[in-house]
Structure 1
Amino acid sequence: MIGEYKMLQVHSASPPKVPSHPQIPEILKTNLLKNFNSPFELKQAHALLIKTHTPLSSLPLTRVGLVCALNPSFVYAQRIFQTLEKPEIVVWNSCLKIFAEGDSPQDAIFLFYRLRQVDVLPDDFTFSFVLKACANLLDVFNCRIVHGYVEKLGLQGNLILQNMIVHLYALCGAMSDARLLFVKMPQRDVVTYNIMISQRIKEGNLNMAYGLFSKMSERNVRSWTSMISGFVQCGRSKEAIRLFLEMESEGQRPNEVTVVAVLSACADLGALDLGKRVHEYSNQSGFHENLHISNTLIDMYVKCGCLEGSYRVFEAMRERTIVSWSAMIAGFAMHGEGEKALELYDEMIRSGMKPNDVTFVALLHACSHMGLVDKGREFFTMMTRDYGIEPKIEHFGCMVDLFSRAGLLKEAHEFIVNMPMAPNGVIWGALLGGCRVHKNIELAEEAIRHISELDPLNDGYHVVLSNVYAEAGHWEKVARIRKLMKHQGVKKTPGWSSITINGAVHEFVAGDESHPQAEEIFEMWEKLLVKVKLKGYVPNTSVVLLDVEDKEKEKFLFRHSEKLALVFGLMKLPPGMSIRIMKNLRMCEDCHAFFKLISAIENRDIVVRDRNRFHCFKNGACTCRDYW
């Protein structure tokens, strides 16, 4: 090689020229300084800085910390940081933040302990990032340790840290610790209270949550929304609406979560006027693109008996999810518009949307209320065969209801016996309901035997069996059922109906004479009775299942709660305005016939939401087609 080199020198007039690229060293330098991924590469970058007399501050310090934090090079990174003017903990805090918010929050905890081992003094930010990591991991053990450090370093006055610790204890279910800290805190703010209220609601302890809410000197939208949502979740929709109206009176503007909660409450109570007002507010606030709100609006309008309102919302949606389609299909089914429910399903399939298990519940429900037995069988088979959806107990319940309503009681019974899961009280209750309609005492007695074991305190099923016996004239068995109910402490749920007039809810109980305008209601009733009798109304006393004279039975019939609510609505609502009534039990056949006649005589649309479905009366007919 030496000889070759000498030969090169001899034969070359000058040294060979190397192409000059002055940018290459700078690019290499930048890559090395900014993109090192290991301690080894960091040391190369460090050497380059020393060689080129470049200050260490040129290194991305947070990257130095991340590369060295969890390995033996930790001390090496420390030495670099200690040559700088800014406090070392500032850089480590940046690393803690990245770890805490990343995919490995446990690394933040490991780094925190490493810092404590080498006596790096943490500050408020250090603890906030470590607490965030603990929250992501639901790590109450390390939360307690961090809490101890906070106390030891005298940071009790940092309200942000105190709130984070309260939140973490609550999040991990350590409510006794959260409560103790809450009580001992030298100061609290709206965030502190919101944390405790939210957790109490999650636990189902609504009264304790409301107690905290009542003590707040200052409330924000989240405070109000948490309580309103809590009341709705616990089935206390009246209180939710009361609180919402109070929130409005205090000048607080509802957010999107508030809107969803209030609309759900309106759906529960059938409060259509308030629901419409909240809908208008939602549009004015720019919430109309919120899918959750749109889906809740569909549900609200459906459950308030305003099918056209729900369909307008559905039509206006730019984007629809399977929840939107299923809610609208269920709405048509509940309102007796079975054909439209099936048409909408076909439209959904054409749009490329695949049904889910909820969609099939709605479809089977539609078939059940229309008596479409074969179509119901087809859907039940299709859900597994075409879409791989395993039927749940709700689907089996719909099928039993479908068969039972259609009078196919033996097929319904066989279907129950062959179910791949244990039937519940609702399944047997569906069969029992069919037995009442089709007067099958034998199967009714079998159904009630199972129900007595599965749901012994449900008064509704005992009443249905009692009605089956009463319709067959077996009064001694009726007496036995009532005696049994009394012995078991099962009380019959009283029937009630409600109607909303100018935002006020008026409730009526069967035979109720306590309403302030009872006398006027009964006078109006007598006038209506004359009108309907002229149109052929004959009281159906067979629905009064008491062993008394027909005249006495008529008195009971004429004081049914839905009739009282109807009369009051005719008195108070302007001519031509729809009347909407909520009823907690199934509407009886006599009231059904009476409402059909009144809808024609008074030229009124009347909507009744009973326990099972909607009845929409118009021009002397009902959307249920007398099949319910």
Structure 2
Amino acid sequence: MLSVAPTRTTIRALGDLLEACKTIKALKQLHAQLVLNSLHSHRFLGSKLVDSYVQVCLLLDARKAFDEIPQRNNRSWNTILSGYSKRELPSETLDLYKLMRREGLLGDTFSLVFALKACMELCCVDVGKLIHADAIKICLDRDAYVAPNLVDVYAGFGCLDDARQLFDGMVERNSVLYGVLVKGYVKSCRGREAMHLFYKIQEDGVKLEPVLVIGFLQACALLGASREGRCLHAYAVRMGFTCSNLFLSTCLVDMYAKCRLVKWAFHIFYQIQHRDVVAWTAMISGFVLDGKSLEALDLFRSMLVELEMPNAVTVSSALAACVHLSAWRTGKSIHAFSIRSGLAVNVIVGTSLIDMYWKCGCEQYACQVFNAITDKNVCSWSAMVAGYGMHGKCHEALAAFEQMIAEGHKPNAVIFVSLLSLCSHSGLVDEGWYYFQCMISDYGIAPSEEHYACMIDMLARAGHLLEAESFIANMPIEPGASMWGAMLSGCKMHKNIELAERAAEKLFILEPDRADAYVLLSNIYADAGLWDQVRRIRTIMIEKIFQKTPGCSSSV
């Protein structure tokens, strides 16, 4: 035991020894010596001891050593917070941060960053706001390390106005700060705001790092902004980012595919040497999006030949290609592959299989797949409701919806579109009104243009044309072309020329080049024997060089 107080040199030497301990045995022995000499509670050595235990992944021992330090400072707290944060224990990290605050310490840059990262992992935006208040108290809310994490917390949970306010309050903005805000906008599908940052970053003179290029490419994909996407591609090539960054190359494939530049997408895809499942999926999805379903299925087969294991999204895209081709036999083969590979139980694959079988007219298989899904969600229920509706089985569709509610699933906006469309085609006006009101009052879903169009179609089909016109007049949104189109179809069905002319007039203003609207109005006049009006409309059509799209069917 030491008989005199250790000098600063001795303390430093012991600290170096603790850092040099690479084995648990050596660390335990040195810890024992520190205890024997009553040095384990020394603030500097105690913190070093905690850090050494963290490095060898002994968090319980680290916590015990930490608890032995009587007068802990920010360094001591940061050491233990760092240990729990690195081991991805967010709940314990936040508990430690709260304990630190209860002991009267305000923390510093590092402790705030550790706590904010824990909030992100635990989805605790309210706690994040409290930590933001702590940061303001010690004037660290605009710190170069703290501010990006604060923006990340707000943006990650959709509080983008708060995130933007923080961003705009920063005097000096770096690529990290831009990156987290762009990521937040993309995550919330607000591509336009993300692209505004693309122009702003050039004004600020901030260098585009690979992570920023990826974020902006994702925003271009959302908007179909091919010009900006090509600029980013050129920049990435000049900087050499595409040579070593597989994810960036995959984002380029996805961006070009969603901008309907599939040849460019395939060119990038072909140049990727070591393709992963994400790259294959992006290209297959791109072909499907562009209507090249045969190419999508050929690429899916090539993927299997190259022994790259598809994931649930890949299989879902391949099944979507089968739907476009009505290729139910190919879809059945993919179903068999999904069973062999264990993907059939996945809810994404299961829902895609249900959709494929319904749209190919295989009701029995659709029901079998649905019943086999153990973890059904609102998407799988929605596919069943839409499938029943597609085949005119309105009572089965409504029963499936009620069963979904009984099992505790909360419906979304998509399933209500299916329900309202079903009510429209089945003439269930009262039921349609019930579900429309239920959607708004019981589930707080704001009607979209699709919901309003379904309601107008339902009323018009049932002959309630004046009620449909009144409904349009009282809507809180401007009526779109789909709504006036539904009204015009209803007018033809019930031979109401006056309303048809009003609906057509609105429709021609919104979409002056829509050929089917002119054809429909011409047919309404023809049914009424108004041949002068028929000739007038057909003359307009000829002048505009409209062509009626021929019908077709396919079965593979």
Counterpart residue identity of residue 417, structure 2: G
Once the two structures are superposed, the pairs formed by residues 128-143 of structure 1 within 5 Å of their partners are 128-136=78-86, 137=89, 138-143=92-97
- 2:329 aligns with 374
Cα drift, residue 232 of structure 1: 1.8
Alpha-carbon spacing, 1:269–1:92, altered in 2? closer, same or farther (3 Å): same
Matched, 1:314 2:266: no
Cα drift, residue 58 of structure 1: 12
Matched, 1:349 2:304: yes
Matched, 1:483 2:425: no
Matched, 1:510 2:457: no
CA distance in 2, matches of 1:132, 1:181: 19
Q: Out of 100, 116, 123, which is 1:170 matched to?
A: 116
CA distance in 1, matches of 2:100, 2:28: 20
Alpha-carbon spacing, 1:365–1:62, altered in 2? closer, same or farther (3 Å): same
Residue 241 of structure 2 aligns to a residue in which SS?
coil
Once the two structures are superposed, the pairs formed by residues 352-367 of structure 1 within 5 Å of their partners are 352-367=307-322
Alpha-carbon spacing, 1:354–1:129, altered in 2? closer, same or farther (3 Å): same
Cα drift, residue 286 of structure 1: 2.2
Cα drift, residue 544 of structure 1: 7.6
Q: Out of 398, 408, 421, which is 2:374 matched to?
A: 421
Deviation string, structure 1 residues 91-110 (Cα, Å, up to 9, x no partner): 76655444334423444443
CA distance in 2, matches of 1:78, 1:430: 70
Matched, 1:564 2:511: yes
Cα drift, residue 486 of structure 1: 5.1
Matched, 1:384 2:322: no
CA distance in 2, matches of 1:337, 1:258: 31
Residue 307 of structure 2 aligns to a residue in which SS?
coil
Counterpart residue identity of residue 344, structure 1: L
Matched, 1:181 2:134: yes
Alpha-carbon spacing, 1:468–1:313, altered in 2? closer, same or farther (3 Å): same
Q: Out of 74, 90, 101, which is 2:32 matched to?
A: 74
| 8 Å CA contact 2:313, 2:349 repeated in 1 | no
| 8 Å CA contact 2:287, 2:295 repeated in 1 | yes
- 2:250 aligns with 295
Give unmatched runs, 5+ long, in structure 1: 1-55, 83-87, 497-507, 513-538, 568-586, 592-600, 604-616
Once the two structures are superposed, the pairs formed by residues 224-623 of structure 1 within 5 Å of their partners are 224-288=178-242, 289-385=244-340, 387-408=341-362, 410-411=363-364, 414-415=367-368, 418-421=371-374, 425-427=378-380, 429-430=382-383, 433=386, 440-441=391-392, 443-451=393-401, 454=405, 455=411, 458-469=415-426, 474=427, 477=428, 479-485=429-435, 487-488=437-438, 490=440, 493-494=448-449, 510-511=480-481, 547-549=494-496, 553=500, 556=503, 564=511
Give unmatched runs, 5+ long, in structure 2: 1-11, 120-126, 406-410, 441-445, 452-477, 521-542
| 8 Å CA contact 1:445, 1:465 repeated in 2 | no
- 2:17 aligns with 61
CA distance in 2, matches of 1:562, 1:258: 41
Counterpart residue identity of residue 112, structure 2: V
Relative to structure 2, which stretch is displaced further, 294-303 or 65-74?
65-74
| 8 Å CA contact 1:134, 1:142 repeated in 2 | no
- 2:173 aligns with 219
Counterpart residue identity of residue 278, structure 1: L
Cα drift, residue 335 of structure 1: 2.4
| 8 Å CA contact 1:367, 1:375 repeated in 2 | yes
| 8 Å CA contact 2:150, 2:163 repeated in 1 | yes
| 8 Å CA contact 2:15, 2:48 repeated in 1 | no
Which of 1 and 2 has greater Rg? 1
| 8 Å CA contact 1:511, 1:556 repeated in 2 | no
CA distance in 2, matches of 1:90, 1:129: 11
TM-score by length of 2: 0.69
CA distance in 2, matches of 1:164, 1:299: 37
Cα drift, residue 373 of structure 1: 0.9
Deviation string, structure 1 residues 265-320 (Cα, Å, up to 9, x no partner): 22222222222222222222322131222222222222222222221221111220
| 8 Å CA contact 1:237, 1:268 repeated in 2 | yes
Larger relative CO (CA 8 A, sep 6+): 1 or 2?
1
Counterpart residue identity of residue 460, structure 1: V
CA distance in 1, matches of 2:322, 2:171: 54
Alpha-carbon spacing, 1:384–1:548, altered in 2? closer, same or farther (3 Å): same
Cα drift, residue 205 of structure 1: 3.1
| 8 Å CA contact 2:338, 2:344 repeated in 1 | yes
CA RMSD between the two structures: 4.6
Alpha-carbon spacing, 1:202–1:301, altered in 2? closer, same or farther (3 Å): same
| 8 Å CA contact 1:131, 1:146 repeated in 2 | no
| 8 Å CA contact 1:509, 1:560 repeated in 2 | no
| 8 Å CA contact 2:78, 2:111 repeated in 1 | no
| 8 Å CA contact 1:201, 1:209 repeated in 2 | yes
Cα drift, residue 124 of structure 1: 6.2
CA distance in 2, matches of 1:565, 1:99: 73
Alpha-carbon spacing, 1:331–1:554, altered in 2? closer, same or farther (3 Å): farther
Counterpart residue identity of residue 564, structure 1: E
Residue 310 of structure 2 aligns to a residue in which SS?
coil
TM-score by length of 1: 0.62
| 8 Å CA contact 1:294, 1:313 repeated in 2 | yes
Q: Which of the pair is proportionally richer in strand?
A: 1
Alpha-carbon spacing, 1:90–1:353, altered in 2? closer, same or farther (3 Å): same
CA distance in 2, matches of 1:588, 1:324: 41
